[in-house]
Amino acid sequence: MANGPGNGSYYDDAPPSATPRVRTPAPDLDAQPPAQIRRKVVANTPEPPPQPPSASSRLRAQPPARSQLRIGIIGTGGMAAAHAENFLKQDGCKLAACLDIEPAAAKTFADRFHIPKVAKDAQDLIEQCDAIAVVTPDTSHAAYVLRALRCNRHVLCEKPLTSTLAEAREVARAAKDAQSRGVVGMVNFSYRCASAMHHAAWMFGQGRIGELRHVNAQYVQGWLCESHEPSPGALWRMRRATGGGVLADLGCHLLDMVTAITGDIRRVQCVMGNFPKVSKSGENFTRWQGKQLDADDTAVISVEFAAGGMGVLQVSRWACGRDNTIKVDLHGTRGALVFDLDHSYDQVHHHELAGKRWNTERPAPAPSGWKRFIDAVRTGHHEQPDLVRGAQIQAYLDACRRSAEHGCWMDIEPWM
């Protein structure tokens, strides 16, 4: 499917030329993972203490609990359609405005989703909305998120949170501040909708595999194996200067999924590769429309976990024969946990060393990020993955980049 407005929705990090690569996870199922699973998953960012009522209700985020929530969408390309469709499925939400750097794209999007207003700029959009989805290329996330938070608007930001760690720290600080005014900020790590991940986190927390020794995880796609001539709008994904590259694109999802189970990473060693692309006539090329296609398109990350154990995380756009494959294997002293989202979002295979057998557990489906975001806005209950969590993942990506540049292990820098 081509990138850009007017095309069918896509939901994963599908390349700009493909058919939808991952089934759309059930967006508004009421089933929640068991409470203990939810607690474990948020454990890497502890619940904040309850906030005292603000001195001035005027300063608090709007609207009151049961009114129609007005949603604004910034960036109206491929992923924005998934936001529009999923927000429309949430109770009491309406799409109030949209904005794009390309006004014609915003207009087409507004017509498609019956959005009454194409905003003329960010302030115009913010004034007409209670909650904002930031769905632009990564380099522009920080500016929009900061602006929205400062205006007390709830924000759901696309992943990765930002394109640098410095920006992520600024957003994390602003998010903490805004949280005390009742403002919700979350990152759309969309695979949090996979109950397999939540259940694996819960099982791991229960000690079902003993002490962690080794993790083998991959998130790979194969779209670069076919001829790939990017449209002007899709060029940003393939250039370093515009924040493209597979490490940020798929690596952020994988780092979030793995560490939501294992806990924090202490240090990383990363190697990244960039290969010539293939034209429609079968020739190799490295520049397109005068621009160098220099973003990483494959990466291998070795990690050491803070709680012990090591792992290898792989991301690639060169996995020939794979559309959108996510697999995680965790091996411990007493067993193993394995899930494969190609196969199922809601199954975890467990090897029990004592009994020398594999069992499959089938947790109830988990809610989508849009549902969790809207629930958090409605209830004021803090939800994950929040913007501080987004900054933590940015710290991991930053360490990977430094490691690839210097050719050695890198410690994780603080993200707050």
Ligand X SMILES: NC(=O)c1ccc[n+]([C@@H]2O[C@H](COP(=O)([O-])OP(=O)(O)OC[C@H]3O[C@@H](n4cnc5c(N)ncnc54)[C@H](O)[C@@H]3O)[C@@H](O)[C@H]2O)c1
Residues at the contact surface with ligand X, assessed by CB under 6 A:
3-5, 11-13, 74-80, 99-102, 105, 135-138, 140, 158-159, 188, 190, 233-234, 249
Q: CA 47, CA 384: separation in Å to the nearest integer?
A: 10
Considering the complex, state which of residue 76 and residue 179 has its C-beta at the smaller distance from ligand X: 76
- Minimum distance from CB of 21 to ligand X (Å)? 10
Q: How many CA atoms lie within 13 A of 406 on its CB side?
A: 12
Tokens of 1: 């499917």
Residue nearest to ligand X (CB): 77
- Minimum distance from CB of 107 to ligand X (Å)? 11
Q: Are 238 and 16 in contact (CB under 8 A)?
A: no
Output phi, psi for 304, to 5 deg.
Answer: -115, 125
- Minimum distance from CB of 315 to ligand X (Å)? 13
Considering the complex, state which of residue 21 and residue 351 has its C-beta at the smaller distance from ligand X: 21
Considering the complex, state which of residue 62 and residue 90 has its C-beta at the smaller distance from ligand X: 90
- Minimum distance from CB of 113 to ligand X (Å)? 14
- Minimum distance from CB of 13 to ligand X (Å)? 4
- Minimum distance from CB of 11 to ligand X (Å)? 6
Considering the complex, state which of residue 256 and residue 346 has its C-beta at the smaller distance from ligand X: 256
- Minimum distance from CB of 239 to ligand X (Å)? 12
Considering the complex, state which of residue 44 and residue 324 has its C-beta at the smaller distance from ligand X: 324
Q: Please state, in angstroms and as integers, the Cα–Cα distance from residue 109 to each residue in 7, 76, 79, 232, 335, following that order.
A: 9, 6, 12, 18, 49
- Minimum distance from CB of 97 to ligand X (Å)? 13
Considering the complex, state which of residue 216 and residue 242 has its C-beta at the smaller distance from ligand X: 242
Considering the complex, state which of residue 144 and residue 339 has its C-beta at the smaller distance from ligand X: 144
Considering the complex, state which of residue 193 and residue 388 has its C-beta at the smaller distance from ligand X: 193
- Minimum distance from CB of 193 to ligand X (Å)? 10
Tokens of 60: 């608090």
Considering the complex, state which of residue 154 and residue 208 has its C-beta at the smaller distance from ligand X: 154
- Minimum distance from CB of 14 to ligand X (Å)? 7
Q: Are 129 and 96 in contact (CB under 8 A)?
A: yes
Considering the complex, state which of residue 62 and residue 188 has its C-beta at the smaller distance from ligand X: 188
